[in-house]
Amino acid sequence: MKPILKELIWLTGILLLSILIYGIVVGNTAIDINMHDTYILGNGQISQPSSTTNILSVFIGISLLIYLARVSYYRFKKTPANLVLMICNGLALFYFSTNIILYLTATNTGSIWFLNYSKALILTYYFIKILLITVLGFTGFMTGRNFRNQSIEATIVK
**Each residue of 85-111: pLDDT tens digit?**
999 999 999 987 776 666 655 555 555
Cut 0.85: pTM above it? no
Domain that holds residue 45: 3-157
Structural domains in the chain (count)? 1
pLDDT in tens, 128-139: 999 999 999 999
Q: Over 90: is that where the pLDDT of 65 sits?
A: yes
Quick one: which of 86, 28, 7, 99 has its CA closest to 58? 99
Predicted pLDDT of residue 86: 95
- 3-state SS, residue 111: coil
75, 98, 137 from 118: Cα distances, Å: 38, 17, 28
